[in-house]
Amino acid sequence: MTTEHSGDVRLSGISKTYGSFTAVHPLDLTVPQGSFFALLGASGCGKTTTLRMIAGLEEPSGGTVHLGEQEVTHLPPYKRPVNTVFQSYALFPHLDIFENVAFGLRRRGIKSVKKQVEEMLELVQLGEQARKKPHQLSGGQQQRVAVARALINTPKVLLLDEPLGALDLKLRRQMQLELKRIQTEVGITFIHVTHDQEEAMTMADTVAVMNAGRVEQLGSPTDLYENPDTTFVANFLGTSNLIEAEVDTKNGDDIVLKAGGGKLVLPEARCSAPTTTGGKVLVGVRPEKISLTHADEAGEIAEGRNRITGRIADSSFIGVSTQYVIDSPVCPEFEVYAQNIDRDARLVPGAEVVLHWNPAHTFGLDAAQDIDAGVAEVEEDAA
């Protein structure tokens, strides 16, 4: 709020080990002041440990934590200008909502807290509930108290540890927008830990995808979604169809690849793997970028599009779109999401089809990775 970088959170080589287990590998991360930053990953990936090291609730095994100019690596939590919204809210059960929210102010020796607390309760729309005890509130209300209790201290950084995990889906959506609104209003840096990729993408300006104690990729939600660097990111954020292919030739800015007897075109700029002729590359495309055309009309497909033939194995109608699973020689379970605009009645399981998409939507990944990385974790968390 004062100078430009005075409030950046800088983690330099920070790591955490428990005995022989490494929860966080040495990690460098800068969270710019005023941003909404998300740490995204499956459970056990080290995202919460990273957050707790920023809060001071966990002592790093190595590296440093800076808040702006100040090094806070070894400061106890009560000396850090940082507040946390805990996963289970951790509201004080013996204090009413007003006193819960006033707690931080009182500990810093501020005497007249009434006006500030009332304003904060207004901001989270809980003015009426000030004299109730936490257990008398609903989950969503408790969540807002937890946010208010942390925000009232105008910390340099607000840390949110899976703050919406305990809420049902509808309330979660509502709270996502609410938190986003509050963040825009107060302009404080938010670092949000979540395993829900949709939550991270809707709320954050920048997302860091973590896997096994490392940051896999960092970027804006669009960037991560459109240009994943690794198979883990490609599979963990949404769904990707990955095809094993071989580099054939280079044609200007494009690479031409051979896959299952056909040819696919990939813009070189969108390939994160080295491309030497004859080398292997994983070609990815998102299911919603693909169009389906019945094999009888294959001739009508425009020139220059990537195409693959296959047979519809399964289809499910989910309202706005229809999700198809296509059995093709290059990929056994190719997923295609088609908008329900003009539905072709012939596109039913068993039909022969051609899948085609604009080559600009293709991305390339290093083939030396586990093609299914990030797939299982998503299912685990959903269960």
CB of 70 to another protein, least distance (A): 16
Q: Cβ closer to another protein: 88 or 340?
A: 88
Question: Distance between CA atoms of 158 and 171, rounded to whole angstroms?
Answer: 21
Angle, helix 169-186 to helix 139-151, in steps of 10 degrees: 20
Q: Does 88 bind another protein (CB under 8 A)?
A: yes
Q: Does 324 bind another protein (CB under 8 A)?
A: no
Looking only at the bridges linking them, the beta strands covering 352-357 and 21-31 are unpaired
CB of 71 to another protein, least distance (A): 19
| Contact region with another protein (CB under 8 A), list: 23-31, 35-43, 99-107, 236-244 | 99-107
Question: Distance between CA atoms of 377 and 236, rounded to whole angstroms?
Answer: 8
Q: Cβ closer to another protein: 48 or 240?
A: 48
The answer to whether the beta carbons of residues 211 and 196 sit under 8 Å apart is no
Q: Does 104 bind another protein (CB under 8 A)?
A: yes
Question: Distance between CA atoms of 266 and 250, rounded to whole angstroms?
Answer: 10
Tell me how many residues contact another protein (CB under 8 A).
Answer: 25
Q: Does 107 bind another protein (CB under 8 A)?
A: yes
* List 4, 5, 76, 250, residue binding another protein (CB under 8 A): 76
SS3 state of residue 119: helix
| Contact region with another protein (CB under 8 A), list: 73-81, 181-189, 220-228, 292-300 | 73-81
Q: Is the torsion defined by CA of 193, 205, 320, 355 positive or negative?
A: negative
* List 36, 37, 98, 103, residue binding another protein (CB under 8 A): 103
Q: Does 50 bind another protein (CB under 8 A)?
A: no
SS3 state of residue 120: helix
Q: Does 90 bind another protein (CB under 8 A)?
A: yes
Nearest CA among 263, 239, 235 for reference residue 251: 263
CB of 124 to another protein, least distance (A): 16
Angle, helix 139-151 to helix 114-123, in steps of 10 degrees: 130
Q: Does 108 bind another protein (CB under 8 A)?
A: yes
* List 23, 82, 120, 160, residue binding another protein (CB under 8 A): 82
Segments of the chain assigned E as strands = 9-18, 21-31, 36-40, 62-67, 70-71, 82-85, 157-161, 189-194, 206-211, 214-219, 241-251, 254-259, 262-267, 280-285, 291-294, 306-317, 321-328, 331-339, 352-357, 363-366
* List 129, 153, 176, 227, residue binding another protein (CB under 8 A): 153
Q: Cβ closer to another protein: 80 or 286?
A: 80
Q: State the binding string over 129-148 for another protein (x if CB under 8 A, else -).
A: ----x-x-------------
Q: Does 83 bind another protein (CB under 8 A)?
A: yes
Q: The sheet that has 280-285: what strands, in order across it?
A: 262-267, 254-259, 241-251, 280-285, 363-366
| Contact region with another protein (CB under 8 A), list: 79-87, 182-190, 211-219, 308-316 | 79-87
CB of 4 to another protein, least distance (A): 27
Question: Distance between CA atoms of 41 and 367, rounded to whole angstroms?
Answer: 22
* List 77, 165, 262, 267, residue binding another protein (CB under 8 A): 77
The answer to whether the beta carbons of residues 288 and 341 sit under 8 Å apart is no
Contacts with another protein by CB under 8 A lie at 55-57, 76-78, 82-84, 86, 88, 90-94, 103-104, 107-108, 133, 135, 149-150, 153
